[in-house]
Amino acid sequence: MRGNSDSSEDMNVSLDGAQAADIKQWTEENSQTTLQRTYMNNLVMNYLVTEGFKEAAEKFAVEAGVTAPMDLSLMDERIRIRSAIQAGSIQEAMRMVTTLHPEILDDNSELYFHLQQLVLLELIREGRVEEAVIYAQEHLAERGASDPNVRQQLERTLALLAFPQPLSSPFADLLHPSHRQKVASELNAAILKAENFEETSPLLSELLKLLLWAQQKLLDVDVTFPVMTDLVSATLALPALPSANNK
Amino acid sequence: MAEGGGSTSGSTFGVFPYPNDPLPLKTLYPFVNEDETPIPRCWSSKDRYNHIGLSQNNLRVHYKGPGKSHKDAASVRATHPIPAACGLYYFEVKVISKGRDGYMGIGLSIQGLSMNRLPGWDKNSYGYHGDDGHSFCSSGNGLPYGPTFTTGDTVGCGVNLVDRTCFYTLNGVLLGTAFRDLPKDLYPTVGLQTPGEVVDANFGASGPFLYDLRPKLEEVRASVHRTIIEHPLSLPGGEPCDQVKWTDILNKMVTSYLVHYGYCSTAEAFARASTTDFTEEVASIRNRQRINKLIMCGNIGGAIALVEELYPKLLNDNPNLLFRLKVRQFIEILRGTEQQSHVSDTNGATNGFSAPPSMEDPAPCLTPDKVLKHTSVIQSTRTALQQSGISRSSKGTPMQAPSELELNARNSSSTFGGADSNNSDGNRSSRSPPLPIVFSSSDHGRPEAITVPDEESSDTEMDCLDEPMPVTDDRPAGDLNGVSNGVDQHPNDEDMLVDDDEPEVPQTNGTCSVPSPKSQGGSCGSTNWPRGSHVETVLAFGRELQAISEKLRRTHGKNKANKRMLQDAFSLLAYNEPCLSPLGWQLETAQREPVCQALNSAILESQNLPARPSLEVCASHAQQLVNLMSRSGLGASAFTQITSLLHHSPKPYQIQRCSVMTETFPQVVGLQAPSTDLGEPRRRSKRSLTGDRFDNSLPEPLPPRVSSVISTTSHVASSSTTSSLPSTSVSSSSNNNNNNNALQAASSNSFQLLESRISSPIGHLTAEENSAEHLNGNAVVSDEEMVTGGGDNIGDSFTSLRMSHFDGHNYNEDFILKTSSDVVDFASPAAGSRLPTSQDNSLSNSLSGRAGEVLDDAVQFLQSNSGLQLWRAGERPAAQGDLVLPEASAAGALPSSTPSSSTSSTSSSISALDPSSSNVTETNWQTTPRQ
C-alpha cells in the first residue's frame, strides 16, 4: 500500500515503445514543450521569496510583472534570521525567532534541538570547550536522556571535543557551512509555515528533485533516454554514449 | 450470509467522481493518454467465455451456461488493460443477483488466460470470490480475505500502480491489501459460475463510486511526494551533492534564467545577494531586454529596427526568423496594435515597416514630439472618419459590446489604464515609438493620456509593467491583477482604434480572470476590423509579406512552417470577429511570446550563448521524464504533481490563471489545442505524451473566449462548443484528443468556412431566450445607431468585407469564402446567426467610390494570397448549404441545461444540449430567414 516500495513497482516493466530515440529528438521535443513564461516566472519568484532574496524579488516583480506571492516586507525578519544563522550567530537568531513567532520553537522540538545543537557546535568551533560542555549539560542533556535520536546526535557533537582538530575528525560534517545552511533552511521553512505561506521549500528545488528522481526511476527499469548530467548547463547525454553531450 | 463486517455499516457515500462530471475518467485518470492506452470502459464482447452474456452497453454480465461444476465457470475481461498512468485504478461491480449459488469472482487477469475459469485460479490472475469471501492469488486455493458478498452488494477492486498492489472494497468499505507484486497490463475481470448470476460494472463512467477514492489517492500522492523529496540529490554519474552545492546549483540556474530573459536589475540584485556570477555584459542584457519589450508590446517594427541596429547581421542570417517577425507584425497591424503610416511612407527596404522614428534616430531617445508626429497621419485619417459621422466602435461586435458595457460598469474609471502605462513605457524605456497612437489624438478628450511625463529615469530597464500610473485614472483592482502576469499584459495593444465615445475594454489580456462569460472579447482587444486607410495598410503589408514569402521560397526552398504561418495570418482577414475564430489565437498577446523567445534565442545563439535557459530545459525535461515514466508503465508518474509545479501560480492570484481551469476541468484543455497547435512549432508530437492535457495546457492560456465560457458553464458548455464545429469526429466520447482533432481539422480548413454575417440573433435561435441572444440584440441596437450616419465609408465597407457585421441593413450579403470543394460554411463562432439571403443587398451597391476599390483590392488580395474563393453576393451558388453554428448561444443556453450525467457518449449529450448542433452533421442546410 505504501507508495514507495521501489522494487515491486519496477517489476515486470517492459520497455515496449518506451525507448526514447536519441538526444536530438528528445531535445526537439523538449523545446516544443516550452512552458509559458508566466509559469517559469512564477517559479523563479517563488524561489526568490522562499529563499529570502528580497531585493531581487522586488525587482523581479517590476521587471517581469510577476506579482509577489506575499507581502515582501514580511521577508525582512526572515532574511535576518537566516543570515544570522549562516553567520553563526545562532543564539541571536533564536532570540529573533522567539520575538517574531514565539510558537515556532515550542512547536518544533526537532528544529529547536537542531538550533541548540548549532549553538553547541559554534562553541566547539570557537574552542570554548567549557562553555560547550556547560551548555550541553544545561540545555541538552535532559532531552538526550529521553530521546535516543537526540542522544545520538548529541554524542556525535560532543565527540568533536575529543579531537584536537575537530575539522579533520569523522564528525567534521557538523562543522561544515552546509550544516548551518541546512538548519537555516529548516528554520526558514518553519517560519514560512507559521506565516501561512503555501510552500515552505522552493518549488524550483522540488521540480529539480523530481527530475533527479524520475531519471533514477527510469534508469532503474532500464529505459534508455537522454539523461541530464548537469543541471546548470542542462547537459544531456545518452547513458550508452556517455560523452555525447548535446545541448 | 454475505454482508458481514462492513458491508452495510459505515459506508461513506462516495461523491467521486462527481455525479455530473461529463468526463469522469479524465477526472479519475488525468494523466492517461487514451490515444496510446485506452482506459477500460466496458466488458469485452470478444474476450469472454461462451457462457457469459453481456448487455446494457456491455456493462452487465450474466451467466448463461449450465453451471453444473467449476468446469462451467466463465469469465470476461474488460476491453483494455489498466494503463499504468492511471496511478491508482479502481472499478466497482454490483451484484444484481447472486443466482443459484453466487459463485462470483471479481478481480484482475492478464490477457490470454483461459476464460473458462474464475479470476484468481490461474497464474497472473487474481480474484475475490463472493461465495467464501476468499482472495485467490494465481491459485485454486483461496485465502481468507473479506466477507462473502451477494445480491445487492457492491465490490470495488483497486489497483495501486505505484507499488503494484491490489485492494478491494465492499459496499464502500476498504478491505485492505489483497495482492502484491502484480504484473503489468492487467484487465479488470469478472467470473460467474451458476445460473442466474448477474453483475453490473462501473468503470468510473457510470456515476460516482460507492467508495470514496480520494483519501486513497491523497495517500498515494503524499507517499510519492515524500519519495521525491527524499531522493538523494545526485545526478547520474555525479557525486551526491549537499545542501550548499544544491543551493549553488539553484542559484546559478536562476541567475542564468534572469539574464537570459533580460531581467537585468533582478539579475544584478540576485547575483549580489547570492554571490553568483553571470557572464554576459549588462549592456548586452539591456539591449535584449529592450528588444523583447518591444515585441511583447506588439511593436514588431520597432523591434526589427532595433535588432537591425544592434545586431546588423542577425536577421540577414535568419531569414526565417525575419519572416516570422514580419508575420507577427502583420498580425499586430491587423489587430491595430502596430500602426503603419503609409506603406509608401517608409522606406522600401525589407524592413520597410519598421517604425520611422527608430529609423531616423538610431541612437534614440524618443521624445513625445516624435510620437505625436508619427501619429498624425493616422490620426488625421481617423479624425476624418469621425467627422464624416461614422464613429463606429472599433469593438462593437455583437458579442463584445455588452461585455464592454458590463466591464465598464464595474470599472468605470479604468478606461485608459493599460494604454497609459504603455505609453509611459514607450517614453521611458524604449527607443522606439510607442504605438498607442490613439491617445495622442487631440480630439480625444483625454489629453493627459499623452502627456505622460517622460520618465527617463534610472529605471530604464523596467518595462511596461512598471505601473507608474502617471495619469490620474484609477486603475481598477482587476486591472492591476491583470498585470501581474508579465507576459500577457503588456498593456498597450488594444487601443489604436478605440473611439472616444466608446469606453475601452479594461485590460483583460490573456488572463482568464474575467468572470463574465460575456467578456469573451477581452483578450483580443479591439479585434474589430481594420477600416479606412488601415485596410490599405494591412493589405499592402500583406502583399509585401507575400512577396517576402515568395522570395524566401525561391532562395531557401519551401518551408511548410512559413507557409502555414502566412496562411493562418491571412486567414484572419476572412473573419468578422477574428479573435473568436478558430485562428483567433494568433491575436492573443501571449502569441508574441514565442516570437519574442525565438528572437531572443537567436540573438543569444549568435553570441554563443545557450538558446534556452537551463531552467527551462530542465522544466521541460522533467515533464518529458514524467511522460516517459507513464509510457514505461511506472504508475508513480501519475502522482508527481509536476503540473502544479510547472503551472504554479501564487495563491492570491490563482483564480485568474488557467492552471486552475486545467486542474478543475481537465477535459477542457482539448479546446485550446487548436489555438496553440496550429501555428507554433510546439505542436504536440504524437509521442509526446501521456498526460497530454498538461502538454496542451503548457504553452498558452486558454483562449479567452473558451475560458470564459468554461468558467461559468463548465464542461458541458465547452463540450458543445467543440461539437459545434462541422466535424463529425467529435463523436468519440470524452476523448480530448478527438476533440482536438475535430477542432484542428476545422480550423485548418478555415478557408472553407466563412460566411459569417453576424448580425442580430435570428433563425432558429430567435425562439430561444438566452443570454447570448440578448448580447447580440444589444449590440445590434447600438451598432445600428452608429451606422446610420453614413453607410459608405471605407471602414464600413471593409467591415462588411470582413464578412460580417451586424449592420444588416446596409450590406447583408457579404462575401462567401469557401473552398471549391466544401460546402460547409460556418459562422464565426461567436456570432452564430445569419442573415437572410433574401434581404441581401449587393455589397457593392452600398459601397461607393474608393470604398469599393479598397474592397476590390482586398478581395483580390485574399484570392491571390490565400487560395480563397470569393463570391459576390448573388453570385453565390444557390445550392450550397450553410452551416450555422451558434456556439455562443449554445453556451448561453447551457447554464439552464441539465448536464448529462451519463458520459459514455459525449457526443450524444452534446447534441441533446445544443439545439443546433444536431444539425452539425448535415451538409445541406436551408438558409434560415430572418424573422
Q: For the segment A31-49, what is each residue's pLDDT rounded down to a tens digit? A: 877 677 888 999 999 999 9
Nearest residue on chain B to A71, judged by CA atoms?
A: B652
Of B247, B617, B636, the CB nearest to A217: B636
Where is pLDDT greater, at A197 or A106? A106
**Rounded CA separation B527/B521 (Å):** 8
Q: Mean of the pLDDT values across residues B422-430?
A: 38
Coil vs helix vs strand at B380 = helix
B668: phi > 0 → left, psi -120 to 50 → alpha, else beta; which? alpha
Which of these, B519, B463, B437, lies nearest to B265 by C-alpha position? B463
**Rounded CA separation B429/B456 (Å):** 7
Give the B window 265-284 contacts with A, CB below 8 Å. 265-266, 268-270, 272-274
Is residue B392's pLDDT more than 90?
A: no
Distance from CA of A17 to the nearest CA of B (A): 8
Residues of B in contact with A64 (CB under 8 A): 261, 263, 266, 465, 486
Question: Which of A6, A11, A16, A39 should one mutate to test binding to chain B, selecting the residue with the greatest count of B CBs within 10 A?
Answer: A39
Set of cell numbers at residue B373: 508626429
Of A1, A221, A231, the CB nearest to B618: A231
Is residue A86's pLDDT more than 80?
A: yes
Tell me if chain B has a CB within 8 Å of the CB of A218. yes
Tell me whether residues B651 and A236 touch, CB distance under 8 A.
no
Nearest residue on chain A to B36, judged by CA atoms?
A: A17
Enumerate the β-bridge partners of residue B98. B197
Residue B317, Cβ neighbours under 10 Å: how many? Answer: 11
Which of these, B715, B636, B713, B640, lies nearest to B670 by C-alpha position? B715
Provide the sign of the torsion angle of the four alpha carbons B554, B559, B565, B570, taken in this order. Answer: positive
The per-residue pLDDT for B112 is: 92
Tell me if chain B has a CB within 8 Å of the CB of A203. yes
Question: How does DSSP classify residue B930?
Answer: P
pLDDT band at B297 (very low <50, low <70, confident <90, very high): confident
Give the A window 120-179 contacts with B, CB below 8 Å. 176-178
Give the B window 478-497 contacts with A, CB below 8 Å. 481, 483-490
Give the A window 50-89 contacts with B, CB below 8 Å. 51, 53, 55-56, 58-60, 62-70
Question: Which of B621, B661, B672, B687 should one mutate to test binding to chain A, selecting the residue with the greatest count of A CBs within 10 A?
Answer: B621
The per-residue pLDDT for B333 is: 83
Enumerate the β-bridge partners of residue B108. B126, B188
Residues of A in contact with B282 (CB under 8 A): none
Tell me whether residues A62 and B466 touch, CB distance under 8 A.
yes
Is residue B289's pLDDT more than 60?
A: yes
Of the listed ranges A64-73, B284-293, B630-639, B904-913, the one predicted with least confidence: B904-913
pLDDT in tens, B209-230: 999 998 999 999 999 999 998 8
Give phi and psi for B277, each to the nearest 5: -105, 155
Output the average pLDDT for chain B: 61
* Cβ pairs bridging A and B (under 8 Å): 329
**Rounded CA separation A147/A157 (Å):** 15
Tell me if chain A has a CB within 8 Å of the CB of B477. no
Residues of A in contact with B616 (CB under 8 A): 34-35, 40
Concatenated DSSP letters for B216-229? HHHHHHHHHHHHHH
**Rounded CA separation B19/B41 (Å):** 17
ipTM of the complex: 0.80
What are the start-end ranges of the H helices in A5-53?
6-10, 23-32, 37-50
Q: Mean of the pLDDT values across residues B99-106?
A: 94
- List CB contacts of B89: < 8 A, sequence separation 6 or more: B29, B82, B83, B158, B159, B161
Tell me whether residues A218 and B632 touch, CB distance under 8 A.
yes
Query: Contact, B833 vs B763, CB < 8 A?
Result: yes
Tell me whether residues B650 and A46 touch, CB distance under 8 A.
yes
Q: Which helix (H) or strand (E) holds B387?
A: helix B368-387
The per-residue pLDDT for B857 is: 59
Coil vs helix vs strand at B259 = helix
pLDDT band at B528 (very low <50, low <70, confident <90, very high): low
Is residue B677's pLDDT more than 50?
A: no
Percentage of residues of chain B with pLDDT beyond 90: 21
Residue type, B13: F
Give phi and psi for B225, each to the nearest 5: -60, -45
Tell me whether residues B243 and A178 touch, CB distance under 8 A.
yes
Residues of B in contact with A182 (CB under 8 A): 243
Query: Contact, B224 vs B162, CB < 8 A?
Result: yes
Tell me whether residues A53 and B235 touch, CB distance under 8 A.
no
Tell me whether residues A30 and B266 touch, CB distance under 8 A.
no
**Rounded CA separation B218/B222 (Å):** 6
Is residue B924's pLDDT more than 50?
A: no
- List CB contacts of A207: < 8 A, sequence separation 6 or more: A43, B618, B619, B622, B642, B645, B646
Give the B window 696-715 contacts with A, CB below 8 Å. 698-701
Q: Which helix (H) or strand (E) holds B144?
A: strand B143-144
pLDDT band at B690 (very low <50, low <70, confident <90, very high): very low
**Rounded CA separation B359/B724 (Å):** 48
Q: Mean of the pLDDT values across residues A135-163?
A: 85
pLDDT in tens, B483-525: 333 333 333 333 333 333 333 333 333 333 333 333 333 344 4
**Rounded CA separation B438/B295 (Å):** 19
Question: Which of A11, A14, A34 should one mutate to test binding to chain B, selecting the residue with the greatest count of B CBs within 10 A?
Answer: A34
pLDDT band at B741 (very low <50, low <70, confident <90, very high): very low
Is residue B40's pLDDT more than 80?
A: yes
Where is pLDDT greater, at B160 or B819? B160
Of the listed ranges B8-22, B264-278, B285-299, B858-872, the one predicted with least confidence: B858-872
Tell me if chain B has a CB within 8 Å of the CB of A7. no
Is residue B85's pLDDT more than 50?
A: yes
Distance from CA of A243 to the nearest CA of B (A): 12
Of B242, B490, B698, the CB nearest to A35: B698
Question: Which of A27, A48, A59 should one mutate to test binding to chain B, selecting the residue with the greatest count of B CBs within 10 A?
Answer: A59
The per-residue pLDDT for A4 is: 37
Residues of B in contact with A218 (CB under 8 A): 625, 628-629, 632, 634
The per-residue pLDDT for B555 is: 81
Cα dist from A122 to A147, B330, B638, whole Å: 23, 66, 45
Is residue B138's pLDDT more than 80?
A: yes
Coil vs helix vs strand at B214 = helix
Q: For chain A, how far is it from start to end, CA to CA, in angstroms? A: 40
For the purposes of burial, counting CB atoms within 10 Å of the CB of A164, is it exposed (0-12), middle (13-18) or buried (19 or more)? exposed
Of B243, B651, B682, the CB nearest to A198: B651
Tell me if chain B has a CB within 8 Å of the CB of A3. yes
The per-residue pLDDT for B621 is: 92
Residue with cell 452608429: B786
